[in-house]
Each structure stands twice: as C-alpha cells, then as structure tokens.
A and B are shown apart, each in its own frame.
Chain A
C-alpha cells in the first residue's frame, strides 16, 4: 500500500501540544521500591506458578532425558502431524523422541491448522508468573497458538526471576526490532466468559507443556 495520507495528524498533535501547555494540577511524589516479594528460588517458584497456570512442567537432567520426556508427551497425543521450530537442538532430539510421527519444520512454512502439536524453543522463562517468553524467531506467531498442544523445550539457564528482568533484557536485545512479535505466555488458552467457569482450550492450545532441562 501507499504511504499513509494523514490529514488529521497535525491537528491532533497541535491540540495535544496546546492542551499540555496547561500543567496538570495532579502531581505525585516519585514512587520507588519493590512491588512484589523478591524471589529467592526461581526454579521452585517457576514450578509452583506453572502448576497454578495449569501448565505441565517437567524438569529433566540432560538432552537424552528431555528426548524421553518429549516422546512421552508425543505418545499421549492423537495421530497426526507435528509442527517443529527448525532449530539444530530440536533437530537433534526429535528423531530420538518419536521417529515415526510426521513433522513439518518451520522452515517449510506456517503451521497447518490440523497440526496436533507444536514444538518450539523459548526466549526466556519467567519464574514470577510461570511464563514463557517467545518471539517470532521461535517458529513464528502461529507456533504457540494454532495447535491443541504446545510443547516448549527450554533450559534452566533461560530462567529469569521476574517480568522486570525479562522485559529489561528483551528491550536491551531490541526484541521488537529483531522480531515483529513477542509474547509472554502464562498457561493454556482459557475462558471464563460463561458463568465465570474456567474452560481450557478456548481458541488456542488446551495443553502447554514445558520440558525444562538442567544442562545446556
């Protein structure tokens, strides 16, 4: 499309500028300090929060046990294609995990609607809220939302204590300059729009599985 013609832009900016010449009578003293209790044990907190978010989190010791865990999760899923982020680490463990299952790699295109699961890495894990931070580089936007099950393969070194740290790192690394999209995911898709009853799997994954490996 052509660059946007913006007849209202200058008018709005002029009105804002004129309005702000009158200073606001409301002022408040600078507020500082901690707004959340400090996190002493990030791993323990992450596992607790994952349980609270109805996520499945399994701690593994090395890539062999991660592959075993991944195989278990894949075995529990219905037959069908799995979408996988095209990354050397995942290329290495996936054949061991489930050699028979058809795989669509992210380098071949976006996940298909019929995918039974998606397997991706994460940019970070956040202990405070039991969240995973993904960006477009983790297999694209659809990789964490289209299939009924999203499996995340991460290492303990990626765990940060809180949102503040995660967002400060993300900003420093220019997350939105390098990716068009990023998302802090804190559980499976859900709704409570009917009588406040919690139902999982509203539009996105019903299961969010984190395989958390101690070693890099």
Chain B
C-alpha cells in the first residue's frame, strides 16, 4: 500500500530536520532575511497600524469580490484584452493550452507564479510539446532540478552556490570557476535572454488585481517579469480571484508592505502595472492579453465566513520564514504547492481536508505566523479551526478515535491515571537502562530516535505538588 500524505510528510520532515547541512543553509538565509525585515519595518511610522489598514482593505476587497472582479473585467475587455474565468485547474490549463495552440506557440517564458504551480500549468503545456522556461533565477534553478519551488518567494533557498554551480555545469554545460554567484547569475542571464527573444508567449502571475484602474500589478526584482510581459507577442496572466485590491492608491501601502514582508526591501525593484495589450501607437508590447481568473476552491473557502480572511493572503512568505516548523523541515517536506503556515491552512481547503488534515498539526501554535502577517490573518487559530473541522466532520481515523477515547477514560479515573503514569515512567526507565531508547519498542520513538533520550522525571507531578503543598 502506498504511503498516505501524512506518512510521507512525517517521513520527509524527519529526514530534513536531521539534515544539518540543509538546516545551516536555511538558517543563513532566514537570518539574513530577519535582519533586512527589521530595517524595512523601521521605515514605517507605525507598522501595526499599516497591517490593520491592509487587513481592512482586503476585507473590503473580499467582501465585495464579485463587484471588484466585474469592474476589472470590464476595463480589460474594453481595451481589447480577454478575461477567462476558470472554475478549476483543468479549465484554466485547457484555456491556456487552447490559446497557445491556436496562436502557434512553441516556446513559453514564465515569470514566478504560485497559481501556475497550483494548477500544474507547465506539465500541461509540455504535454503539447511546448518548451517552458522558468525565468526567475530561483525557479530556473529548481526547474533544472525537476523540483517544485522550495519557498514561495525564494524558490531555491535550500541550495548553496556550490550545488547551483554543479547543477549549471551538468545541465547547461558550463563550469563557473570558484562558484562565483555573480558569474552564475550572468550564465543564467545569457541562457534566458535567448528564451525571452524566441518565445511567442509570456506567462505571469499577478500580485494584485487592481479593480478601479482595471489592471494587474506584478512585482519582480530581477526584471524577468518585465521581459516576459514585454517581449513575446502574447501575454497570459494567471491569477487567483482573491488577489483584488479596490483602488490603485491601495498599492501605495501594499507595495511597501509586500516588499518589506517578503524580502525586507522598501519596495520591489519593478512594480509593474499592465492594463491590456499593446495600444495603437505604442512602441512594443504583446498584441494579445489574456487574464485567467482561477477559482479552484477559493469561492468554497469564501463560503466559510470564519476562515474567509485566509483569502487576504498576499503571498509574501513572512509566515514561512518565522515558523519554527518551516525553519526545521523546509518547504519540500510539506508536499504541497503552498508550504508553511499559510499552506497548512489553505491546502485542506483547496485540496481536501481528508488528505491534508495532518498539516494542521505541523505547528507549535506559537502564533509567530499571525504576529508577522502583513494583512493580520489569524493563522494559528485557523489551524485550530481546521483541526476542529476534521474532528467534527468525522475525518479522523479509527486508531485516533480509540486513542482519544482511552485517554478520556484514563483522565476521568484518577487511580487509573496514577497507575498509567507509574507504568509509563517505569517502563521507559527500564528501556533506557537497556539502551533501547529510540528503538521500535520505545513508545517515545518519534522523539527519541533522532535525539538524546528525553529525560524522565523521578516522580509524578501529583506527588511533587503534594510535597510542595506540605512544605509550605
């Protein structure tokens, strides 16, 4: 029988958390991020008020989602663009592959877009023999490794320069002496320049859908998003329906908030607005402009008023970087498009609670994710909501239900509780003495197999408490 998602998660998480090289790379990356974010936040007069303002704007956007999407659609169509509403991943991929087929596309350049990962767009295009180039450097690297992105902002965060140099040498046939990052970037630039100028179609995501101006906003530092949306003759935007902000002026706050939370920058280098295809008299730009608005479970999440605010997410990655679980197991162990706390909350809604309910437990519930979210999503409470929903909808397995029944029985009977405590301590002490800590016989195996055995108390809490009361 193949392993369940939960079993695979536990297996992969155990391997990654014991991989010290991996942890050192992540520690270095996140330490550098932490320092930048502190500097970035200091540029705000009042960071907490700015978070509340962003929350308020997104509440307005999500609570009037239909109105704003229609406002956006009307403007884009009036300028000669196309807007396609995709109920699910299949509809989105079918539409895009149809456009590609009809317009004779053989080469596609893509800028980073998590929604295209979510709907598995690249494999759908490749099935038709279309060559797809990921052009964000991090995405390009993970594409060469045939891996999904490791992080929603920095997709190749788990690799060091030596690993990237070896990869380029193997896949691109050029060895960079000294593994100099500048030369590695220059090599990727040379290779991808050829792709930009030969591609017929550029595919991008959208960081924001701007309702009143009728445009999409894309932020990139590298400029690959600019080239993808400027050079090829067709531009396809793939975006979730929740990415709406009501007004262009809202970006005066959202652009700095996204950049600060994402990388610590005051603003991303290229904050681009696109409202349609090339207009008459313009020098360049795509002749075809298609926006694919992807639902894929989002309207279902909207029905859940309690968790609706999860749709406020602007995909900055701050909750991943602060999360002690993410910092230890990294992005791939989750086995989902969206890793980290936001992924653990969102994935059960998009891909099914049954298969992904275990992610609600991939958290210490410390609340760090909630504290850094730039749109103030109450992430750790939503993890609790998902846990509750899994139980109330009967998604738990037989063994789990029996274990909790047994636990309930024991805690309701003090004598049995005392006996169980004594038995547990005595058995573990014996196992430890026999050198069997972490072995298959050890009930604490999940903890003890990768660590020094957990120290055992010499007496129960109840007896210590009694002694403490007697002494005072």
Contact = CB atoms under 8 A, between A and B. Distances in A.
Interface of A: 1, 3-4, 6-9, 11-13, 15-20, 22-28, 30-31, 33-37, 49, 52-53, 106, 109-111, 113, 129, 131, 136-137, 139-146, 162-164, 166-168, 170-171, 175-177, 179-197, 199, 201-205
Contacts, number: 294
Interface residues of B, number: 111
B330 to A, nearest CB: 15
A193 B275 CA distance: 29
B459 to A, nearest CB: 46
A31 B49 contact: yes
A185 B85 contact: no
- Which 8 residue pairs are nearest across A and B when measured between Cβ atoms? A140-B283, A204-B223, A176-B275, A110-B284, A202-B222, A141-B230, A189-B223, A15-B299
A204 B229 CA distance: 13
B5 interface: no
A12 B241 contact: yes
Interface centre among B66, B136, B267 (most CB of A within 10 A): B267
Given A164-B249, A171-B213, A191-B221, A136 B299 contact: no
A200 to B, nearest CB: 9
Nearest to B87: A8
B284 A22 contact: no
B46 to A, nearest CB: 6
Nearest to B46: A35
Interface string B194-216: 00110000000000000011110
A175 B79 CA distance: 13
B279 A196 contact: no
B345 to A, nearest CB: 15
Given A19-B303, A180-B79, A188 B182 contact: no
B339 interface: no
Contacts of A9: 85
B130 interface: no
B283 A180 contact: no
Given A164-B249, A181-B229, A185-B270, 5 more contacts: A6-B83, A18-B303, A36-B43, A167-B248, A203-B227
A180 B235 CA distance: 12
A194 B164 contact: yes
B214 A176 contact: yes
B346 interface: no
A23 B288 CA distance: 39
Contacts of A162: 252
Interface stretch (B27-35, B349-357, B360-368, B438-446): B27-35
Contacts of A37: 45
A189 B46 contact: no
B161 A8 contact: no
Interface in B244-278: 247-249, 251-253, 255-256, 263, 266-278
A205 B273 CA distance: 19
Interface centre among B79, B256, B305 (most CB of A within 10 A): B305
B343 interface: no
A144 B270 CA distance: 10
A187 to B, nearest CB: 5
**Dominant SS at the A interface?**
loop
Contacts of B75: 176
Contacts of B46: 33-35
Nearest to A35: B50
Contact of A167 (B230, B251, B293): B251
Contact of B279 (A16, A20, A180): A180
Contacts of B279: 136, 179-180
Nearest to B272: A183
A190 B270 CA distance: 10
Contacts of B164: 194
Contacts of B25: 195
A184 to B, nearest CB: 4
Contacts of B274: 176, 180-181
Contacts of A191: 137, 185, 221-222
B175 interface: no
A180 B282 contact: yes
A186 B269 contact: yes
Nearest to B138: A193
Given A35-B50, A193-B154, A183 B270 contact: yes
Contacts of A140: 230, 282-285
Interface string B133-174: 001111001000000000000111001110010000000000
B448 interface: no
B222 A189 contact: yes
A28 B255 contact: no
B347 interface: no
A214 to B, nearest CB: 26
Interface in B16-48: 25, 28-29, 32-33, 43-46
A52 B259 CA distance: 15
A191 B33 CA distance: 14
B29 A142 contact: no
21 contacts: A7-B91, A12-B241, A24-B59, A27-B59, A34-B46, A110-B283, A136-B282, A141-B282, A142-B230, A146-B227, A162-B252, A167-B248, A184-B272, A189-B269, A193-B138, A194-B159, A195-B160, A203-B192, A203-B196, A203-B223, A203-B224
B429 interface: no
Given A4-B84, A12-B87, A28-B55, A180 B268 contact: no
A37 B196 CA distance: 40
A17 to B, nearest CB: 6
